[in-house]
């Protein structure tokens, strides 16, 4: 539900007068809680509904991994099928976080690499390209990341990928590859809301307190102000002294939204606005050559389908 809301709100802000309609779809093999599965079943279409439709753009979100090897994930075959379909049936597709790493593995066999620690927080990124997707972007900006893995830039470059933005520490943020469709890969999370990293951090703390993980999670970098960071450091000390969920009782009350730094929204809106313009331009060019087949409810002035893997 959070991912759905995040993308829906972001695309609404980015549309700037364009007519955009979303269709939400789900890959059924993704492990979900019973409550989430019921909601998905009642509100989402199955990914199978996509195969005979025309859509302009596709956004595929990530999921929390359950296997070290992406090819062992229960949704691997369906996701691979989706990648192949998207190359021939979209003007552009955005692959987010885990979906980006899985798509690259399927297309070119490039495996992700485990980082020494979780890349977690808001990190300064440099705009290193003149691509139309980064048009109007500042030279540097913050972007949320929450991941344990990375894809080395040298391996991406060797296979024809173009890096658009890079973290100051040298890791890749956003990159593209022009197949029959323009594939866009985001290892970060431009769609995140101000409190998204906070909620992930609280979830990981709770897992530690429950004994579901061995180590206490690292605080997200570049995200909290000094007061919030001090409060969370005190919570960490309390958790080591008394490993109980009771430590979280005052978590939300002690952290007000004003103490969270959410600087990435303008760049996120700019990026997706450029993407929507690209879809619109490609669709207009296609209309002057040969018409696409009618697609019932999926034929719009500018349409995007979001296949959610969470």
Is 221 tagged catalytic?
no
Position 259 pLDDT exceeds 90 = no
Among candidate residues 189, 193, 200, 247, the one labeled active-site is 189
When mean pLDDT is compared over 94-108, 245-259, 275-289, the highest value belongs to 94-108
Rounded Cα distance, 277 and 272, in Å: 9
Position 304 pLDDT exceeds 70 = no
Lowest-pLDDT range of 17-21, 33-37, 132-136, 219-223: 33-37
Rounded Cα distance, 276 and 19, in Å: 10
Same domain, yes or no: 115 and 213: no
pLDDT of residue 297: 32
Same domain, yes or no: 107 and 212: no
Position 294 pLDDT exceeds 50 = no
- Domain termination site, one of 221, 236, 259: 259
Position 303 pLDDT exceeds 60 = no
Same domain, yes or no: 166 and 301: yes
pLDDT single digits (tens) 96-145: 999 999 999 999 999 999 999 999 999 999 999 999 999 999 999 999 99
Q: 139 to each of 51, 127, 130, how far by Cα in Å?
A: 39, 5, 11
- What is the pTM (predicted TM-score) of this model? 0.90
When mean pLDDT is compared over 3-7, 166-170, 224-228, the highest value belongs to 166-170
Same domain, yes or no: 253 and 183: no
Q: How many domains does the chain have?
A: 2
pLDDT single digits (tens) 145-162: 999 999 999 999 999 999
User: Radius of gyration over alpha carbons of the chain, in Å?
Assistant: 20
34 versus 140: the higher-pLDDT residue is 140
Position 296 pLDDT exceeds 50 = no
Rounded Cα distance, 27 and 60, in Å: 10
Same domain, yes or no: 50 and 65: yes
Same domain, yes or no: 163 and 82: yes
252 Cβ contact list (under 8 Å, min separation 6): 202
Among candidate residues 4, 125, 145, 191, the one labeled active-site is 191
Is 281 tagged catalytic?
no
Lowest-pLDDT range of 6-10, 16-20, 38-42: 38-42
Same domain, yes or no: 288 and 157: yes
Rounded Cα distance, 22 and 29, in Å: 22
pLDDT single digits (tens) 59-101: 999 888 888 899 999 899 999 999 999 999 999 999 999 999 9
Same domain, yes or no: 186 and 226: no
pLDDT of residue 300: 30
Rounded Cα distance, 118 and 141, in Å: 20
Same domain, yes or no: 205 and 117: no
Rounded Cα distance, 138 and 133, in Å: 12
Task: Give Cα 287 distance to the centre of its chain.
Answer: 31
Is 200 tagged catalytic?
no
CATH at 103? 3.40.50.880
Among candidate residues 97, 125, 186, 247, the one labeled active-site is 97
Same domain, yes or no: 202 and 232: yes
Same domain, yes or no: 154 and 21: yes
Write out the residue range of the structural domain in which residue 117 sits. Answer: 2-193+263-308
pLDDT single digits (tens) 193-222: 999 999 999 999 999 999 999 999 999 999
Same domain, yes or no: 251 and 279: no
């Amino acid at each position: 539900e959070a991912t759905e809301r995040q993308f829906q709100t972001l695309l609404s802000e980015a549309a700037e007068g364009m007519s955009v309609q979303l269709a939400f779809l789900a890959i059924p093999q993704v492990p979900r809680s019973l409550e989430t599965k019921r909601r998905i079943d009642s509100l989402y279409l199955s990914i199978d509904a996509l195969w005979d439709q025309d859509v302009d753009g596709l956004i595929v979100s990530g999921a929390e991994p359950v296997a070290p090897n992406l090819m062992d994930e229960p949704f691997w075959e369906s996701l691979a099928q989706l990648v192949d379909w998207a190359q021939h049936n979209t003007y552009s597709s955005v692959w987010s976080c885990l979906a980006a790493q899985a798509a690259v593995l399927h297309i070119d066999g490039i495996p992700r690499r485990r980082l020494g620690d979780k890349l977690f927080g808001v990190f300064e990124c440099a705009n290193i390209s003149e691509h139309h997707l980064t048009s109007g972007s500042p030279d540097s900006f913050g972007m949320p990341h929450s991941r344990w893995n990375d894809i080395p830039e040298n391996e991406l470059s060797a296979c024809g990928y173009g890096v658009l933005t890079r973290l100051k520490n040298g890791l890749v943020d956003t990159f593209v590859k022009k197949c029959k469709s323009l594939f866009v890969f985001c290892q970060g999370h431009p769609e995140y809301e101000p409190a998204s990293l906070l909620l992930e951090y609280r979830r990981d703390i709770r897992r530690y307190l429950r004994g579901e993980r061995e180590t206490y999670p690292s605080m997200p970098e570049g995200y909290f102000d000094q007061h919030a960071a001090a409060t969370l450091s005190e919570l960490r000390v309390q958790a080591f002294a008394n490993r109980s969920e009771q430590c979280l009782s005052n978590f939300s009350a002690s952290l007000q939204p004003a103490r969270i730094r959410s600087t990435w929204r303008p760049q996120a809106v700019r990026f997706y606005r450029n993407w929507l313009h690209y879809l619109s331009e490609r669709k207009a060019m296609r209309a002057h050559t040969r018409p696409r087949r009618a697609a019932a409810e999926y034929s719009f002035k500018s349409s995007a389908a979001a296949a959610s893997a969470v």
